[in-house]
Chain A
Amino acid sequence: MNSLKNKVALITGSARGLGKAIAERYAALGADVVVNYSKDKASADEVVSNITAMGARVIAVQADVSKVADLEKLFAAAKEAFGKIDIVVANAGIEMVEVPVTDFTEEQFDKVFSINTKGTYFTMQQAAKHVSHNGRIIYIASSTTSFPVPGMAVYGGSKTTPRYLVDILSKEIGHKGITVNSIIPFAVDHSGIFADPAAYPALRKQLLDSCPMGRLAEVEDVANLAEFFASDLSSFVSGQHLLVNGGATN
């Protein structure tokens, strides 16, 4: 139904997890893909070979999103390889959970904010400068910003500012037909902090108990919404923040 043929998509933090699932989905729909990674070249190479096998064009570019110079190089490399950028997914982020406010160090605070907040801001700034008319900018947010949970102060805080950025940017560049939206995933199973199914048992139980569908999210649930926001179906949907959480209340 949806086709991304002749589109170029750039996904930050796409060597693993959600970013990988989105990159591979876009490739399956026909897009050329720019895979970005910070350190894990081996995983990025695996995504590249998966996408190459689908017959799409793909490059992997190393860039630390917390460094503006790296982001400039990332976007320049994408334009050089494919001539344009139509879809940008600001996905790169780090998680730090179950740390009470009283325990955070200055170093931890700076690390989380430099990647999740500063990194997203400048990714979206680059996107706003480079994305083609009628393009798409998609921010991968966090449901902790909708349902505050103890231990999430710095992580949730770092994910709150870009939400506001989505609101403003959607209004600033709507005249180019570009949509800007947030995907707000629920805790994703088999990925991130739940890559190990035995990790964070109390948090997992609390989240499961709050979900009428009785499971955590899978990366494909999030990729489904990323497909919608990249497709023509969502051409009049902008400045929106959409939870993909099975109706969970935590």
Chain B
Amino acid sequence: MSTLKDKIILVTGSSRGIGATIARQLAAAGAKVIVNYAGGKDAAQQVVADIKQQGGDAIALQADVSKSDEVKALFDAAIAHYGRIDVLVNNAGIMITKLIKDTTDEDFTRQFDINVRGTFNTMREAATRLADKGSIINFSTSVNRIMLPAYGTYVATKAAVEQLTRVFSKEVGARGINVNSVAPVATNTELFTNGKSEEVIARLASLSAFNRIGEPDDIAQVVVFLAGDDAKWINAQNIGVNGGMA
């Protein structure tokens, strides 16, 4: 039974949504957490304040993961503060749901820049700068398995993340680093509920064996497991966290 005590964990995009819940749960399990944000400074500082109030340790660091120089600076600042990084959680991501015919060049580029290039940028830094025996947890989506209209570009980005995950695990395995992805679906966050009617949400909930959509805690607790040493032998896997939907 592993604890996360003394592990230094970087969670990208953790000022809000699933990322903020992950940061809180990791801290509650004993980890020191780097709360990364792109624009939500106040929200990130609130997450840090909440963690500290519970007796935990965290700092907030700004970086747009889609920019390699900012990611490099993020690793510099995190390592300067905590001495090392043990676990990288690539949670930052955006979702734009439009039919392919309606998707603009900018919609396409923004999603690939943040979801794929962002994950690529942090993994490229992690390849040489994450501590030996560290762990990396990427974010895919279970929508990859159910083929919903209007999610085409989004699932394309996440398919790329899954493939990067599998290949990167072979490249860093010799340092004892394991690399996995989790695949949530329909989770009760702003990213998902924005612009959806109750009826649409109920229909998506009905696809789960538990007849509900996911909560951020459902996803975060799986990340807690994957961040610990008990999960070390799980490597290059994609884990659906979807209530049996797919």
Mark A residues whose CB is within 8 Å of B.
1-2, 29, 170-171, 173-175, 177, 179-180, 211-214, 217-218, 221, 224-225, 227-228, 232-240, 242-247, 249
Among A175, A227, A232, which residue has its beta carbon within 8 angstroms of that of B211? A175
B90 smallest CB distance to A (angstroms): 17
Enumerate chain B residues within 8 angstroms of A214, measured Cβ to Cβ. 173-174
User: What DSSP secondary structure best describes chain B's contact surface?
Assistant: loop
Enumerate chain B residues within 8 angstroms of A2, measured Cβ to Cβ. 1
Within 8 A of A (CB), among B19-42: 29
Q: What's the Cα separation between A247 and B177 when bound, in Å?
A: 10
Mark B residues whose CB is within 8 Å of A.
1-3, 29, 169-170, 173-174, 176, 178-179, 208-211, 214-215, 218-219, 221-222, 224-225, 228, 230-237, 239-246
Among B221, B225, B233, B240, which residue has its beta carbon within 8 angstroms of that of A239? B240
Enumerate chain B residues within 8 angstroms of A246, measured Cβ to Cβ. 173, 178, 233, 235
A-B contact pairs, 21 of them (CB 8 A): A1-B1, A1-B29, A29-B1, A170-B244, A175-B211, A212-B174, A213-B178, A213-B233, A213-B235, A214-B174, A217-B233, A224-B230, A236-B241, A236-B242, A238-B242, A238-B244, A240-B240, A245-B233, A246-B178, A247-B235, A249-B170
Enumerate chain A residues within 8 angstroms of B245, measured Cβ to Cβ. 239
Enumerate chain A residues within 8 angstroms of B239, measured Cβ to Cβ. 237, 240, 242
Please tell me if the beta carbons of B3 and A1 are within 8 angstroms of each other in the complex. Answer: yes
Please tell me if the beta carbons of A235 and B235 are within 8 angstroms of each other in the complex. Answer: no
Q: What's the Cα separation between A133 and B140 when bound, in Å?
A: 30
Please tell me if the beta carbons of A236 and B218 are within 8 angstroms of each other in the complex. Answer: yes
